[in-house]
Amino acid sequence: MKPSTSLIYDGTFHGLLTCVYTAFEEKLLVYNILPPGIPQTDMFAENIEVFTDEVKAKRVWLGFQKYATQRGQNSIYYAYLSELPKIELDILRYFQHTFNCKTSVDGDFANVHVLKIAQTAKKVGREKHRMEAFVRFQLTKDNIYFSNIEPDFNVLPIIEKHFTSRYSDQQWIIYDLKRKFGLYYDLEKARVIHINFSKNLSSSEEKELLFDTTEIKFQQLWKKYFEATTIKSRINTRLHHQHVPKRYWKYLSEKNPLHN
Amino acid sequence: MMFERIKEKLEILADAAKYDVSCSSSGSKRTNKNKGLGNSDGMGICHSYTQDGRCVSLLKILLTNHCIFDCAYCVTRRSNDIKRAAFKVQEVVDLTINFYRRNYIEGLFLSSGIFKDADFTMERLIRVAKKLRLEENFNGYIHLKSIPGASDELMREAGLYADRLSVNIEIPTISGLKKLAPEKNHSDFIKPMNKVKNEIIQYNSEKKLIKSTPKYAPAGQSTQMIVGASGESDREIMLSANYYYKNYNMKRVYYSGYVPISNDPRLPSLGSQVPMLRENRLYQTDWLMRFYGFEVNELLNQQFPNLDVEVDPKLSWALRNQHQFPVDVNIAEKEMLLRIPGVGLKSAHKILQARRFRKLNYDHLKAIGVALNRARYFIICDSRGWETRDLGPAKIKSLILRNSVGKFRKEYSSQLSLF
């Protein structure tokens, strides 16, 4: 029997698919799949670095598509975007289970890996939906609607479509501060950008330089609206926090204590 | 824009509109065409939540809070001494567009006090919607109020620009309406509702033949009833709701616990509590009717005119109908799975899929998301330790209450001590 192996990949989706290919091709007993920068914990496992290969990745995906439903395919991609530790292994097991059964397994919720993938995909889907809700654009002097986000999961690739079809007549930028990349829509299509925030964006002088003069007024109007629409005799702080978790507050202008 | 003046108006007119609980922005598909603004894909988005936990999805305001009527339950009633204000059509349009572009909202919810007469008011509401659609190329969501008594021609036009139209019936019984809003006529509420219903049917059938038929109120109609203002039973409320679902193809009926706003002797006095638990139970019943295949008289009838406050309506039904249980989750039909307390729509769906692969046991069910603390008394599965004791309804109820927590529990804890 072969000793158990750890695969190390470059963190891309195609890289992960190449890992799946490698595991099958070399009949490896995979114990872990790790993105770069995560220290290996098991001293006895053999480490193999997998180099992303588009052709191999494509073969795996096409083979998977033969059996998997659209929902199953989405779940795998969403689960990958979660970036949760060890999720790669669940993804590998999902592929193995599918290829063993030679049918779609996305309803096999009594299998721990399938359930885990379904639940993780659900979490990522929720975060996607939250970002579609909680992005707050601010109009800059260059007539670009700008927004910062720090989502729990890497949802930028899956919210692109929503924003391009909704705001197709305005330029906008959504920037993921955590993962240090953003999307810029230039009225034609959205593309990936990287910005060096050299200055302190939150200082009021910077804001004055950067944003349109009416911007702060609209934020104040929105906050006023938000306050007026609350029914005081029904206040339920727990429910409020449940729906709008505190970690998102700093980007929500209606929760900003400075706008009055 | 005159920001200071607008801010003042916004405060008054949003405050007056907040008692309308409907804030859904779903159920309407409007795709962005010719690089316009906005796109609705049928899924609603709550952009924020107020401190009372309600969703903020639309800019919900009144066009004006001047009103010729004097309905006892309403804050904007003629005799109430409050600040009055009115938006200009263009102001509402500008606010909506600027909020929408910043991703604050899904669209506009526009209601109004009735000034001059019904048609005059309705015409103004339509003008806002028309301007948004035609001049601003706006594809976001628009919810307009149908003003009771508005003419058929206006209602026809309103549906061409709005996604949803709603008339709030407010008081579930005709006798209650007579008491609290003597100037209003029940038939005035029904008239626009009926017109919109017929237009929707007609447009939908034309759409089948001619694809270019314009959309008419694609998200349908909704209405709202105040709970706990005029002393009606849960049965009366739900029968009334059922009537509107069946006869007017309502997409939603909303239940709004009465928030005391005046010293009128006909109504609960100012300090009294908002009946939130009751509101919650009514919504649960509403869901059981719409999604779980329950008939209203199974849940509420002559014998049981009010819902049980301690347990949810499905559990309450199951306790009264123990002869239908236990259900074997590995073979039962979907209809019956949905009737098991502790099994929701999602879990039922997951059970149906997962059991094709293997027989399910308690652990599987738990991982899937079934609330076993309630379900265990009503099911058989692929585990040995199912409930074999012959427990009566009262015993099961007390076991469930003892082994669970409820957010409203403290409100009726005095009753609990009886057990």
Q: SS3 letters for B57-119? A: CEEEEECECCCCCCCCCCCCCCCCCCCCCECCHHHHHHHHHHHHHCCCCCEEEEECCCCCCHH
Residues B254 and B360 placed together within one structural domain of the fold: no
Residues B294 and B324 placed together within one structural domain of the fold: no
CB contact under 8 A, B3 and A147: no
Amino acid at site B265: P
Amino acid at site B192: P
Chain A neighbors of B50, CB-CB under 8 A: 226, 229-231, 240
Beta-strand (E) ranges in chain A?
Answer: 4-8, 29-34, 46-49, 138-139, 144-149, 171-176, 181-185, 190-193
Which residue in the block uniquely carries the two structure tokens 């391009």? A164
pTM of the entire structure? 0.90
CB A229 within 8 A of CB B17: yes
CB B171 within 8 A of CB B180: yes
Chain B neighbors of A229, CB-CB under 8 A: 14-15, 17-18, 50, 56, 60
CA distances from B331 to B323, B327, B346 (A): 18, 8, 17
Count of structural domains, chain B: 2
Amino acid at site A162: H
CB contact under 8 A, B14 and A222: no
Chain A neighbors of B55, CB-CB under 8 A: 243
* Within a domain: B308: no
CB B278 within 8 A of CB B212: no
Query: Which residues neighbour B332 within 8 Å (Cβ) at sequence distance 6 or greater?
Result: none
Residue A206, pLDDT score = 75
Candidate from A137, A226, A231 with C-beta closest to B101: A137
Candidate from A109, A243, A244 with C-beta closest to B368: A109
β partners of residue A183: A174, A192
Stretches where chain A sits below pLDDT 50 are: none
CA distance B195 to chain A (A): 31
B101 at the A interface (CB within 8 A)? yes
Residues B280 and B339 placed together within one structural domain of the fold: no
Alpha helices in B118-233 (DSSP H): 118-130, 152-161, 174-180, 186-209
CB contact under 8 A, A242 and B38: no
- Range 136-175 of B in CB contact (< 8 A) with A: 137
Domain boundary among B250, B276, B299: B299
* CA atoms of A146 and B361, how far apart (whole Å): 51
Angle separating helix axes B3-17 and A215-228, nearest 10 degrees = 20
β partners of residue B227: B257
CA distances from A55 to A17, A62, B99, B200 (A): 10, 11, 46, 52
Residues B268 and B388 placed together within one structural domain of the fold: no
Beta-strand (E) ranges in A88-189?
Answer: 138-139, 144-149, 171-176, 181-185
* CA atoms of B239 and A260, how far apart (whole Å): 46
Residue A21, pLDDT score = 96
B269 at the A interface (CB within 8 A)? no
Residues B324 and B175 placed together within one structural domain of the fold: no
* CA atoms of B123 and B117, how far apart (whole Å): 10
What are the contacts of A246-255 at 24+ separation with CB within 8 A?
A247/A150, A248/A130, A248/A134, A251/A134, A251/A135, A251/A136, A251/A147, A251/A148, A251/A149, A251/A150, A252/A134, A252/A136, A252/B48, A253/A136, A253/A219, A253/A222, A253/A223, A254/A222, A254/A223, A254/A226, A254/B48
Q: State which residues form the domain around B409.
A: 313-416
* CA atoms of B97 and A29, how far apart (whole Å): 57
B92 at the A interface (CB within 8 A)? no
- Range 79-118 of A in CB contact (< 8 A) with B: 105, 107-112, 115
Strand order in the sheet with A171-176: A138-139, A144-149, A171-176, A181-185, A190-193
* CA atoms of B331 and B203, how far apart (whole Å): 43
Residues in chain A: 260
Residue B23, pLDDT score = 83
Residues B130 and B185 placed together within one structural domain of the fold: yes
B1 at the A interface (CB within 8 A)? yes
Tokens for A227, please give them: 């306050």
- Range 193-232 of B in CB contact (< 8 A) with A: none
A138 at the B interface (CB within 8 A)? yes
Query: Which residues neighbour A219 within 8 Å (Cβ) at sequence distance 6 or greater?
Result: A138, A253, A256, A259
As a dihedral over the C-alpha atoms of residue A20, residue A24, residue A28, residue A30, rounded to 10 degrees, the angle is 30
CB contact under 8 A, A165 and B39: yes
* Within a domain: B307: no
Which chain B residue has its CA at the smallest distance from A139's CA?
B102
* CA atoms of B416 and B86, how far apart (whole Å): 50
Task: Say how many Å lie between the first and final Cα of chain B, rounded.
Answer: 63
* Within a domain: B304: no
* Within a domain: B328: yes
User: Where residue B164 sits, what CATH number does that domain have?
Assistant: 3.20.20.70
Residues B254 and B403 placed together within one structural domain of the fold: no
Gyration radius of chain A's alpha carbons:
22
A168 at the B interface (CB within 8 A)? yes
Residues B382 and B273 placed together within one structural domain of the fold: no
Candidate from A136, A166, A233 with C-beta closest to B259: A233
Kindly list the averaged pLDDT for each block of 10 residues, start to end, along chain B of length 419: 91 92 85 85 90 92 94 91 95 96 96 93 96 94 94 95 93 89 89 93 91 90 92 93 94 92 87 88 96 95 92 95 93 96 95 94 93 92 77 89 76 50
Tokens for B109, please give them: 């919810």
Residues B190 and B53 placed together within one structural domain of the fold: yes
Residues B205 and B337 placed together within one structural domain of the fold: no
Candidate from A170, A228, A243 with C-beta closest to B15: A228
Candidate from B54, B260, B356 with C-beta closest to A107: B356
CB B299 within 8 A of CB B281: no
Tokens for B370, please give them: 């079934």
* Within a domain: B232: yes
Tokens for B288, please give them: 């059981």
Chain A neighbors of B14, CB-CB under 8 A: 224-225, 228-229
Angle separating helix axes A54-67 and A70-81, nearest 10 degrees = 140
Residue B22, pLDDT score = 85
